[in-house]
Amino acid sequence: MSDAEPVVRLRNVTVQFGTQTVLQDVDLDIMPQDTLCVIGESGCGKTVLLKLIVGLLQPTEGEVLFEGKPLHKLSERDLTQLRLRIGFLFQQAALFDSLNVFDNVAFGLRAKGGFTEADISARVRERVLEVGLPASVEPKMPAELSGGMRKRVGLARALALDPDVMLYDEPTTGLDPIMTDVINELILQTRSRRPVTSVIVTHELRTVEKCASRVVMLYPRSRLRSDEKQILYDGPPTGLAQAEDARVRQFIQGEARDRLTELRDAP
């Protein structure tokens, strides 16, 4: 048993929006250098979980701790400092449309401060090349890029500050199978370059198989009995197909495999 402290801990977390309960009594410890894939059907609360970790959402009940510190007790200033240690690749890459690639990737470095323009240029160039883009994309505007390129710029931006924690929200959605694999490889490469704790929300079984050290499957609260836990599976990716809970096997065999086949067969 490891005595390491979790990087992120959700304790009895409940999130409600009006009368809708999205998460209820969720307990989750994310350990240093975990690559945790969060799966589950649309609307079960995966993105909400990521937003809780960066403090973009507050739980209705319970608490979220980062390295043992409850987020709700941090000042705005401390929360901002903490967010600089977290890289977030949003679903739509969420680039600033009015900034070119260079300025998008440089954004966090400038926000953090303490870097010379020469430092910023060198770091931006390094990250752009790291995600497999040529330096010639730096002056381009996001509108001039393909979806896969935008994702990679988003990844370069998220990695600019050497984050301790990387959060990926459906990093491969909308990409062709080859680009999906490129992103999977970049996730692996990021992990091998430096110690990083990653949480990946994904529908792609290939990403789960290739990248996850641990998988958590969430189930929509509205479809559970009141005495059931919302995390139906918590274990290695290799155990999913033989999971005790039939709903986990069904999800993997049904939805995920269909999607994988679709991707494989795509022209």
Ligand X SMILES: Nc1ncnc2c1ncn2[C@@H]1O[C@H](COP(=O)(O)OP(=O)(O)OP(=O)(O)O)[C@@H](O)[C@H]1O
The total number of residues shown for the chain amounts to 267
For ligand X, give the closer residue by CB, 19 or 192: 19
For ligand X, give the closer residue by CB, 43 or 236: 43
For ligand X, give the closer residue by CB, 81 or 92: 92
In the bound complex, what is the minimum distance in angstroms from residue 194's beta carbon to ligand X? 28
In the bound complex, what is the minimum distance in angstroms from residue 262's beta carbon to ligand X? 17
In the bound complex, what is the minimum distance in angstroms from residue 127's beta carbon to ligand X? 26
In the bound complex, what is the minimum distance in angstroms from residue 27's beta carbon to ligand X? 18
Nearest to 191 by CA among 164, 218, 209, 217: 164
Nearest to 50 by CA among 38, 68, 66, 35: 38
For ligand X, give the closer residue by CB, 137 or 260: 260
Distance separating alpha carbons of residues 46 and 69, to the nearest angstrom:
22
Read off φ and ψ for residue 228, nearest 5 degrees: -90, 145
Distance separating alpha carbons of residues 183 and 171, to the nearest angstrom:
7
For ligand X, give the closer residue by CB, 102 or 219: 219
For ligand X, give the closer residue by CB, 45 or 237: 45
Distance separating alpha carbons of residues 120 and 156, to the nearest angstrom:
13
In the bound complex, what is the minimum distance in angstroms from residue 202's beta carbon to ligand X? 9
Distance separating alpha carbons of residues 227 and 76, to the nearest angstrom:
37
For ligand X, give the closer residue by CB, 44 or 128: 44
| Per-state percent for the chain, helix, strand, coil, to nearest 5 | 45, 20, 35
Give SS3 for 57.
Answer: coil
Q: H-type helices in 88-176, by residue range?
A: 101-112, 117-130, 147-159
In the bound complex, what is the minimum distance in angstroms from residue 13's beta carbon to ligand X? 13
Distance separating alpha carbons of residues 183 and 178, to the nearest angstrom:
9
* Binding interface with ligand X (CB under 6 A): 17, 22, 42-48
In the bound complex, what is the minimum distance in angstroms from residue 200's beta carbon to ligand X? 12
Read off φ and ψ for residue 245, nearest 5 degrees: -80, 120
